[in-house]
Amino acid sequence: MSYTHILIPVDGSEPSYKALEEGLELAKKYGAKATALFVIPKGGEFIDLFDLKSVREAFKEEGEKVLAKAREIAQKKDFPLALRMAEGKPHEKIVEAAKVLGCDLIVMGSHGHGSLGKFFLGSCTERVLAEAPCPVLVIKD
């Protein structure tokens, strides 16, 4: 199997940066492009809160920080990394980005910021596994 474009969703959690490291190594190995994606969570139960401009701005700032750290990690490896931000339900936006960008591999963490227990997979990862148009590599935390 060979890969041409690897999508690496990052939420700022340690497991997601671990997945980024792994995704970049694979991209290097296969001569593939790599794209990091941060999704500003929107929709569902927080929709009213999200409509506050200040809340939206805070999420955007957080996303910028997360992507800046992702860029630093890639620079240390001397490997180019494209950065993207989207707004919506994280799993939907990850699947959509994989389709739009024509990614042939998604590398993501087993968990992120939210998990209480480590027995089950994170809900975002579980949904991406169910709906992704390509293979998904889950990096265990």
Ligand X SMILES: Nc1ncnc2c1ncn2[C@@H]1O[C@H](COP(=O)(O)OP(=O)(O)OP(=O)(O)O)[C@@H](O)[C@H]1O
* Binding site residues, ligand X, CB under 6 A: 9-11, 13, 15-16, 19, 37-39, 41, 90, 108-109, 111-115, 122-125
Q: Of ligand X, Mg ion, none, which one sits near residue 109, judging by CB under 5 to 8 A according to partner kind?
A: ligand X
Residue among 27, 9, 5, 4 at smallest CA distance from 92? 9
The least CB distance from residue 129 to Mg ion, in Å, is 14
The least CB distance from residue 19 to Mg ion, in Å, is 13
Please say whether the beta carbons of 93 and 86 come within 8 A: yes
The least CB distance from residue 89 to ligand X, in Å, is 9
Whole-number Å distance between alpha carbons of 51 and 48: 5
Whole-number Å distance between alpha carbons of 26 and 5: 10
* 43 lies in the site for Mg ion, by CB under 5 A: no
